[in-house]
Amino acid sequence: MSVASLRGRDLLSMADLSAEELTALLTLAAELKAGKIHLRCPKVLGLLFSKASTRTRVSFSVAMFQLGGQVLDLNASVTQVGRGEPTVDTARVLDRYLDVLAIRTFEQQELETFAHYAKIPVINALTDLEHPCQVLADLQTVQEAFGTLQGLTLTYVGDGNNMANSLLLGCALSGMNVRIACPDAYQPDPTIVQKATEIAAGRSEVLITADPELAAKGSQVLYTDVWASMGQEDEAESRFPIFQPYQVNEALLQLSDPDAIVLHCLPAHRGEEITEAVLEGPQSRIWDEAENRMHAQKALLASILAAEIL
């Protein structure tokens, strides 16, 4: 018997999953974390990362090791990628060696090119447009805290970046209400907003606003991310006064549900997008969220590679 619901599939976007497939992944992740199921998958995962990584790199590596597989770290500095080998050539070569490839890069188009030219499954380990693997862990953490996802409200406050985009899709698929509060010039991708609205129709609500207090009111999950993502560091100083009203602090948390939890995909800039008191406070589930990267990604790998149940 094997776990094969996503066998051979790419995960380039949260929108690549159906609501049923998302539920199945989260169930498997919870069972793996609780030790209720043990899987074997002696395959080879390649990590092709153009951006710095701690949680994604380590969690994928440990997950694959625990499944009985191996990981090859294909850092650009030690491969021909760093010397300008074309994406289409690299994709076709790695396809002959690996069983699955996780890519962390800037442009979504580069990820899609890899997926087009490689027959093996390709996983989005972060692009400037989306971060679906993080959202799998986020939803697992919310489900652990509340026992369900249906009908809950998640509020994201800050930059309308890749996290905001993937949270829109993930919450819509899971039946959660999602509110995104960003400055007017930093809204999420409009195509993704439209897609999330279509997925949520008749099931949950999608709200895009510039008012963080309106978005936070009564919410069960308060979420934030850095104000300047990787590649935008030179904008950080100019962004600070624009995003200051969007800080997740004690006052904003008090507007949320009394039992609300706080999430952050990390790394965090304490005192900027989130205060020390909230990040380290009793309502923070940030460290559980970070741990769940490993469990959620193990479930994803097991499902894509049809791991055997021991």
| Catalytic (active-site) positions | 104, 131, 134, 225, 265, 293
Q: 8 by DSSP, 3-state: which?
A: coil
Encode 284-301: b = buried (16+ Cβ within 10 Å), e = exposed: bbbeebbbbbbbbbbbbb
293, 55 Cβ separation under 8 angstroms? yes
Q: 153 by DSSP, 3-state: which?
A: strand
Q: At 104, give phi and psi (nearest 5°).
A: -125, 110
| Owner of token pair 């790998």 | 301
Cα-based angle 268, 271, 274 (whole degrees, multiple of 5): 55
Q: Is the previous residue joined to 183 through a cis bond, with omega within 30 degrees of 0?
A: no
- The identity of residue 186, as a single letter, is Y
Q: How far apart are the C-alpha atoms of 201 and 148, rounded to whole Å?
A: 19
What DSSP letter does each residue of 34-91 carry, written as one string?
A: HTS--EE---EEEEEESS--SHHHHHHHHHHHHTT-EEEE--GGGSGGGGT--HHHHH
Contacts of 188 (CB under 8 A, 6+ apart): 160, 161, 164, 165, 168, 180, 182, 208
Q: How far apart are the C-alpha atoms of 116 and 191, rounded to whole Å?
A: 21
Q: Which of 224, 233, 192 is nearest to 51 (CA)?
A: 233
